[in-house]
Amino acid sequence: MNLIILGPQGSGKGTQARLVADSLGLFYFESGDFLRESAKVNPRIDEIVNKKGELLPDEEVFGLITKYFEEKHPTLENFILDGYPRSLKQYEMLKNWLLGKGKKINWVIYLTLSEDESLTRITARRICEKCDRVWNLVTNPPPAPDTCECGGRLIQRQDDTPEVVKKRLEIYQETTAPLIEVFKKDGILVSVNGEQPIDTILKEIVAKVA
């Protein structure tokens, strides 16, 4: 089973993708973490993704991701994609690439969330400098405001500030939201309310796709 999980920033798609991957035994791929790792060795990607909060050209992202899958998960079976594709063009490229390999996307999980809630959740996100654990001051607060369970200091990512988040939400509406109609037409869309409790969302996702 090959899945895509989508939703606006703060919808909890990363959390749910990991939980779904564990529940169904899927290979997990998160495009944001992947691009941030790529940015560590590529100043151009760092400038575009981390500092400006913008998206890389579709062809460039596609090339990076397909190369990664060919190296790390060449069977192209039983995976979940978190945060990719982000545009209609990216989806068409991915769809055609998979078809050429005799594979396909079975389901697209779409987590819905209001823009105000998205902004509140993302600007409240904190990352541990020591262990990289992600906390949220609203939905998943740490033991102390600035300290992780491991004792590491919590920081806010460059792309989690209000200004950058608003820009990312605008980009999402322009490029990703139109995909929803395409997924509906293809008959693979599964919509889930992203404002529900984490366990409730997971049970609903698994029940709908399993």
pLDDT tens track for 151-173: 999 999 887 888 888 888 888 88
Q: At CA 81, angle to CA 170 and CA 115, rounded to 5?
A: 25
Q: What is the 3-state secondary structure (H, E, C) of 68-93?
A: HHHHHCCCCCCEEEECCCCCHHHHHH
Mean pLDDT calculated for residue range 23-46? 88
pLDDT at 9 over 90: no
Please, are residues 192 and 111 in contact by the beta-carbon 8 Å criterion?
yes
**Residue 55 counted as an annotated binding residue:** yes
**Residue 194 counted as an annotated binding residue:** no
Beta bridge partners of 155: 127
**Residue 125 counted as an annotated binding residue:** yes
In a domain, 28, yes or no: yes
**Residue 10 counted as an annotated binding residue:** yes
Residue type at position 41: V
pLDDT at 49 over 80: no
Mean pLDDT calculated for residue range 66-76? 95
In a domain, 164, yes or no: no
**Residue 133 counted as an annotated binding residue:** no
Which pLDDT belongs to residue 103?
97
83 — alpha (psi -120 to 50), left (phi > 0) or beta? left
In a domain, 34, yes or no: yes
**Residue 53 counted as an annotated binding residue:** no
**Residue 126 counted as an annotated binding residue:** no
Which pLDDT belongs to residue 172?
81
**Residue 158 counted as an annotated binding residue:** no
In a domain, 32, yes or no: yes
Which pLDDT belongs to residue 36?
82
**Residue 56 counted as an annotated binding residue:** yes
In a domain, 182, yes or no: yes
**Residue 187 counted as an annotated binding residue:** no
In Å, what is the CA distance from 116 to each residue of 48, 166, 177, 190, 195?
Answer: 25, 10, 16, 23, 12
**Residue 151 counted as an annotated binding residue:** no
Which pLDDT belongs to residue 178?
83
Average predicted confidence (pLDDT) for the chain = 90
Report pTM. Answer: 0.79
Phi, psi of 115, deg, nearest 5: -65, -40
Query: What confidence tier does 20 reach under pLDDT thresholds 50, 70, 90?
Result: very high
Nearest Cα to Cα of residue 103 among 123, 73, 127: 73
The CATH number of whichever domain residue 38 belongs to comes to 3.40.50.300
Separation CA 22–CA 101 (nearest Å): 25
Higher pLDDT among residues 107 and 176, named by residue: 107
Q: Name the domain count of the chain.
A: 1
**Residue 18 counted as an annotated binding residue:** no
In a domain, 45, yes or no: yes
**Residue 68 counted as an annotated binding residue:** no
pLDDT at 107 over 80: yes
Which pLDDT belongs to residue 159?
79
Which pLDDT belongs to residue 206?
96
Higher pLDDT among residues 171 and 129, named by residue: 129
In a domain, 153, yes or no: no
pLDDT at 129 over 80: yes
Q: Which domain range does residue 182 map to? A: 2-114+176-209
**Residue 38 counted as an annotated binding residue:** no
In a domain, 189, yes or no: yes
Phi, psi of 73, deg, nearest 5: -145, 65
Nearest Cα to Cα of residue 166 among 112, 113, 122: 122
Mean pLDDT calculated for residue range 49-72? 87
Which pLDDT belongs to residue 32?
81
Please, are residues 5 and 82 in contact by the beta-carbon 8 Å criterion?
yes
Type and span of the H or E element at 202: helix 198-209
**Residue 196 counted as an annotated binding residue:** yes
**Residue 153 counted as an annotated binding residue:** no
